[in-house]
């Protein structure tokens, strides 16, 4: 019996995630959206691509959450997108109401599922979903670090004219202006990038990584990123469905790790069939630790606004 992944929100991120999942033949996909016809139309279009792609995957679209019953993973992308000039904080209250409603409906249909949260502001939305779901922390995971690290890796590969496959990078902390890219733990074929890129230039790449989402919004003017966010989400989906035990930077609920307690923050996590199977604690310099704590404080402020 094939695995089942439901995606809430059939906009660009959700529909593109469905595309990646189907093209990799990872699971049957259900697209859910409040707008009538949109998930059905996109699902049918994608299903009709499967004979060409030679992939045996069922893709269905619905407005009723009954279609999501017994999902192995539920990806939540629902929420209003960020518009030019809009801060992540502006999204907070509207998306909190949407998230609370979605999680309630999802959990009723799939009480054993693992939730991957993609909606922004990411860390606060993951916290809201965790509180609403009543699941253990291993089964509510935020997608941010995989995306932020991919952006950092892209810029490093371009800077050094090397294959993206040679580049590993780690970005910790909240998803936004206070994220913490870690050049010391970022490498090209095992060589630390601190030995390959001058400090001033490296700082520019770090800042570009922090501004990665805003840079795309500025270009698009009427939308935000979706290819890389959806691909990042599907890397997490694949690690869980295939029980890969893959270490990826994810937003996780910390209970004392890194000296942070009671909040979602981006840290290295081992993903497998149970969701987060281990939170990996790496040694940070005093400066890196201070940056991570500062990032946690900004998450804490957002959570305080919505009371989670």
CATH number at residue 100: 3.40.50.720
Residues 86 and 228 in one domain: no
Domain end marker among 99, 120, 142: 142
- Given 142, 161, 192, the domain boundary residue is 142
Together in a domain, 9 and 119: yes
CA-to-CA dists, residue 249 to 68, 130, 191, 234, 235, angstroms:
27, 18, 20, 14, 11
Instruction: Provide the whole-model pTM.
Output: 0.96
CA distance 299 to 193: 29
134: containing domain: 4-142
Same domain, 76 and 150: no
Supply the residues annotated as catalytic. 175
Please give the tally of structural domains in the chain. 2
The predicted pLDDT at position 297 comes to 94
Q: Are residues 54 and 115 in the same domain?
A: yes
3-class DSSP state of 139: helix
Would you give per-residue pLDDT tens digits along the chain (308 residues)?
899 999 999 999 999 999 999 999 999 999 999 999 999 999 999 999 999 999 999 999 999 999 999 999 999 999 886 666 766 667 788 899 999 999 999 999 999 999 999 998 899 999 999 999 999 999 999 999 999 999 999 999 999 999 999 999 989 998 888 899 999 999 999 999 999 999 999 999 999 999 999 999 999 988 889 999 999 999 999 999 999 999 999 999 999 999 999 999 999 999 999 999 999 999 999 999 999 999 999 999 999 989 99
Choose the final residue of a domain: 142, 171, 190: 142
Domain match, 110 and 169 both: no
């Amino acid at each position: 019996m094939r695995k089942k992944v439901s995606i809430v929100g059939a906009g660009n991120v959700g529909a593109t995630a469905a595309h990646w999942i189907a093209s990799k033949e990872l699971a049957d996909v259900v697209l859910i959206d409040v707008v009538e016809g949109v998930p059905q139309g996109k699902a049918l279009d994608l299903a009709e691509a499967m004979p060409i792609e030679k992939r045996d995957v069922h893709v269905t679209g619905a407005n009723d959450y009954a279609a999501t019953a017994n999902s192995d993973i539920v990806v939540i992308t629902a929420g209003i997108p960020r518009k030019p000039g809009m801060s992540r904080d502006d999204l907070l209250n509207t998306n909190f109401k949407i998230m609370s409603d979605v999680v309630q409906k999802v959990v009723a249909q799939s009480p054993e599922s693992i939730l991957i949260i993609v909606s922004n502001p990411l860390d606060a939305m993951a916290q809201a979903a965790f509180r609403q779901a009543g699941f253990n922390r291993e089964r509510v995971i935020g997608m941010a670090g995989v995306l932020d690290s991919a952006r950092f890796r892209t810029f490093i590969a371009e800077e050094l004219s090397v294959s993206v496959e040679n580049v590993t990078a780690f970005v910790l902390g909240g998803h936004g202006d206070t994220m913490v890219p870690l050049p010391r733990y970022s490498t090209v074929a095992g060589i630390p990038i601190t030995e390959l890129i001058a400090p001033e230039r490296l700082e520019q790449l770090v800042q570009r990584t922090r501004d990665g989402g805003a840079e795309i919004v500025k270009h698009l003017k009427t939308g935000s990123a979706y290819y890389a966010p959806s691909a990042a989400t599907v890397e997490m989906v694949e690690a869980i469905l295939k029980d890969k035990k893959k270490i990826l930077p994810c937003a996780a609920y910390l209970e004392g790790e890194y000296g942070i307690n009671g909040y979602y923050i981006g840290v290295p996590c081992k993903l497998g069939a149970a969701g987060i199977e281990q939170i990996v604690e790496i040694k940070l310099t005093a400066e890196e630790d201070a940056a991570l704590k500062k990032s946690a404080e900004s998450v804490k402020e957002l959570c305080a606004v919505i009371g989670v």
